[in-house]
Amino acid sequence: MILILTGLSAFFSGSETAMMALNRYRLRHLVKQRHRGAREANRLLRRPDRLLGVILIGNNLVNFTAASLATVIGLQLFGTTGVVLAPIVLTIFFLIFAEVAPKTIAARTPERLAFPASHVLQPLLKLLYPGVVFINTIANFIVRPLLPPEAEDEHDDNLSVEELRTVVNEGVGIEGQGQNMLLGVLDLENVTVNDIMVPRGEIVGIDVDDDMPDILQILANSQHTRLPVYKDNINNILGMLHLRRVARYLPKKEREEDLTKADLMALTSEPYYVPEGTPLQVQLINFQKEKRRIALVVDEYGDVEGIVTLEDILEEIVGEFTTDFASKMPEIHPQEDGSYFIDGMALLRDINRALTWDLPTHGPKTLNGLVLEHLETIPESNLCLKIDDYLVETVHIKDNVIKNIKVTHQPDPEVSPTSDG
C-alpha cells in the first residue's frame, strides 16, 4: 500500500513540475496541430491556480494517508519506537522517490509526463472542483493584497522584442542568413529613415534650369533608376523621374532634340514625402500602402534632408545585394598598419557594417558629425582624439567639413580575448 501511495505522490509531484515546465509556444503549436494531450494541458494551464489546487489537494491527501499508514505499521512492528522512526523513514523515502526523482524527470522531459497526466488531472479537477474553488478563494483573498497591481498581468506570455531577439539567436535549425533576416526585421523599429537615407549633399538629381546636354549626360551616367527633378534647389522638387520612361529618348548619339524639357516634365511622377525620424517598420508599410519605391525625407520645416528607397529598407533585412559590403564603400581605404582612411561623410551604420565595428550611432549619422560632436568645435588643424575604442585622426579639413579621417580600432585589452597558455 505504501508503494502505491508513493507512486501516486510521485505522479502529483511530477505532474506539477511537468505542467509548469511546458514550453508555452510549443504547446500552442501542438494545440493548433490538434494534439489531444496538448489541448488538455492547455485547458488546465488557462487557470494555473485551479491546476495547482487539484495537484496539491491530491498530493497532500496521499501524503497524509501514507504518513498515517506508516505510523500504524511502525506502532505495530516496533511499538512506541516505531511511532518516531516511521515518519523519519517515510520522509526520506518520499523525498527521494516521490519528490526529487519524479520532479527531475519531469523537468527534463515535461511533455512525456504532462500530456498523459492532463487526461487524469482534468476529470480529477471536476471531481474535486468544490474543494479546489474553496481553497483557491481563501488563498487568493490572502495573497492578492500582497501582490503589486501589475502582477495580475505578468502571466501574459507575449514576448517583447528583446525576448524575441533572444529566441531567434538561440533558435535551433535556423540558418545564419535566415537568422540575420529575422533579426533585421526586429531591428526595423529601432532604425529610422534618417539612418539609411542618401543625405541631401549626395542626392543626384536633375535641375530643369540646366541645359539639355547636361541633363542628358546625367541621365546617361546615372547609377540610380529614379531621380528627383527640381528647379533651382533640391527643396523645390517638381517630380520624380524613372529612367525607364526616358530610355527611348536616349539613342546612341544622345541627340538633345530627342528629349525636351516639356517631355521631361510630362514623364515625371508626383513626389512622395515622408517626415524625418520615421521608423523603417512604419515606412515599409507606407511604401506598400502608397505603392511607392522611393521617398523624399523632409524635416519639420519642409526642407529635403535626403532620399530613402524601398531597396534601402530591404537591405536592412536581407543585407546588401552584393557579396561583400565593404566593396560597395569606396569611402573606406584600408592601410597596411590596420588603420583605415575614411571619407568624413560616410555613414556610421555603413562603416560599422562594413568593418564589423561598433561606432556610436545614437547621435550623428556621419563620421564627420561624430567627430565634430566630440570636439564641440570645428578644428582648424589636424588632431587626434579617442572615441570609445577608436583612435581618430583628422587628415583633411575643408569648408568646415572633415573630408578625410584616419581611424584605428584599439579594443580594450581587458575585455579582448586572451590566447591560451
CB–CB of 205/264 below 8 Å? no
How would you classify the pairing of strands 206-207 and 226-231? Answer: parallel
Mean pLDDT, rounded, of the chain: 84
pLDDT digits (tens, 9 = 90+) for 171-215: 666 676 777 788 888 888 888 998 888 888 888 999 998 888 888
Are 270 and 358 in a shared domain?
Answer: no
Asked whether residue 99 is assigned to any structural domain, the reply reads yes
% of the chain at pLDDT higher than 90: 35
pLDDT digits (tens, 9 = 90+) for 116-166: 999 999 999 999 889 999 988 888 888 888 777 655 554 556 777 777 777
Q: Which pLDDT value is given to residue 103?
A: 92
Are 69 and 31 in a shared domain?
Answer: yes
Contacts 24+ apart (CB under 8 A), 254-261: 254/216, 254/217, 254/220, 256/212, 256/213, 256/216, 259/212, 259/215, 259/216, 260/212, 261/208, 261/212, 261/215
Residue 305: pLDDT over 90: yes
Are 219 and 262 in a shared domain?
Answer: yes
pLDDT band, residue 298 (cuts 50/70/90): very high
pLDDT band, residue 407 (cuts 50/70/90): very high
Are 262 and 345 in a shared domain?
Answer: no
CA distance 367 to 173: 38
Domain count, the chain: 3
Contacts of residue 81, Cβ cutoff 8 Å, sequence gap at least 6: 74
% of the chain at pLDDT higher than 70: 88
Residue the block writes with cell 547609377: 223
Are 381 and 312 in a shared domain?
Answer: no
Asked whether residue 171 is assigned to any structural domain, the reply reads no
CB–CB of 287/294 below 8 Å? no
For the chain, percent helix, then strand, then coil, each to nearest 5?
55, 15, 25
CB–CB of 120/127 below 8 Å? no
Are 396 and 259 in a shared domain?
Answer: no
CB–CB of 14/105 below 8 Å? yes
Are 382 and 330 in a shared domain?
Answer: yes
Structure-model confidence comparison of residues 271 and 248, the more confident one: 271
**Helix locations, 188-334, DSSP H:** 193-196, 212-221, 243-246, 261-266, 280-290, 310-318
Residue 286: pLDDT over 90: yes
Residue the block writes with cell 512506541: 80
Out of 138-152, 210-224, 272-286, 338-352, least confident range: 138-152
Structure-model confidence comparison of residues 75 and 229, the more confident one: 229
How would you classify the pairing of strands 294-298 and 304-309? Answer: antiparallel
Are 276 and 138 in a shared domain?
Answer: no
Model pTM score: 0.63
